[in-house]
Structure 1
Amino acid sequence: MLRILKTDACQPDAAALKEAKRVLLAGGLVIVPTETVYGIACDPAVPGAMEKLAAAKGRDGGKPVARLAADGAQVKTAATHWNGGLEALAEQWWPGPLTIVLETRDGWTGYRVPDHAVAVGLAQACGRTLALTSANLSGEPDTKTAQEAIASVEADLVLDSGPSADQAIPSTVIKVDGGKIECLREGKIAFADVQARFFKGLNPEG
């Protein structure tokens, strides 16, 4: 049975985060707010959790799912390569609406550090990155309230902290391969700004 836990957007309730962690460790799905849209998360380390997430989204289980990180340090540890450009992006837009696709030991994976205390608090509580995707059926509009997310996807627990944003604008998604940067989806942050910051970080004296 779906449970809804109300929590403050700026100071999330520790008991709510603890319960969400318990659900995730049991292989369940949790709807969680971010500063852009509501998302649905699972623990990718739990067998069967990623398949359950794909089924809830109604999409091919082989499609990549971004990871929710508590901070840039978690991402840096997972990345195969890290450089000054990535460091500059992390300093400028994490936490924030930027997803960076990097090469890791498990292949190419996207990472995001949302500018939202509930989402970051959940990743901190779990002690590792979580799989996070938008809380809507594939092809359907993004959701910006817990009620919209509940109506769109099936989950085991909902962390409801009110509307995520006035406009449900998703994160900008980029791919970084060494000194090359590619825009996979332009969202809340203009790619031109991301690109300029990346190359300035690579060549600080340039």
Structure 2
Amino acid sequence: MTERVTVRVGPDAAVLVLGTGRDRVRETAGILGRETAAGLGPQVVLLPLGLLAGAAVHAVLGVGTGAVVGLVGALALLEVLACWLVSGWGELTRPSRLEFAPPDAPARMRFVRLGVRGRWRPVTELGNLRVAHRIVAPVDGDPRPARETFTVRREAARPGTAPLSAYEVPGDPRRLVEQLGGLLAPAGLAVELRTDRYVRTRGGGPPVLVPDPPADRPAG
């Protein structure tokens, strides 16, 4: 199991580490890239309408078409920057660690964001956890090996609580599931392992999910 997402037990608390700084930067960069594409895509599609609107404003008010197009471009840029600020800050303030105390039978927990510890809360507020395990197998003739990644997700115990999600990291999470299960069992919290298998497609397309085999029906 990768040590980038693991449980470390100390004398005063057990700590669930949710990835490294490199994971955080990689995830943040990916989100900002998607936000940029989502923000600029509609603007490119609507550019002809903006040019027509600029021509109409020029004809009616005498305002230069270049000024109108510049204003539309500035508004598009501000939209992208606003998305960057919201998404980037949300990603950077995602918890990097969870601390549980006492370590042998936790009764309270707290989040650590940007190196700042939050207040202690009852551990039952965490709710159950799900470890999503993703296996991507090669198609016939593909020399690349299979790739395994996983994330840790929180099934909120009460409405309005933001779900917890660790960064997707490579590795087999079964030992992590054992560690978390043993840590949270005294509090009555469950840790579920969900494995989904995918197969790569020829031509570089997205992997295809392999459906689970049907359950055997009882005889008779």
TM-score (norm 2): 0.24
Structure with greater helix percent: 2
The answer to which structure, 1 or 2, has the higher relative contact order (CA under 8 A, 6+ apart) is: 1
Computing the radius of gyration from Cα coordinates, the structure with the larger value is: 2
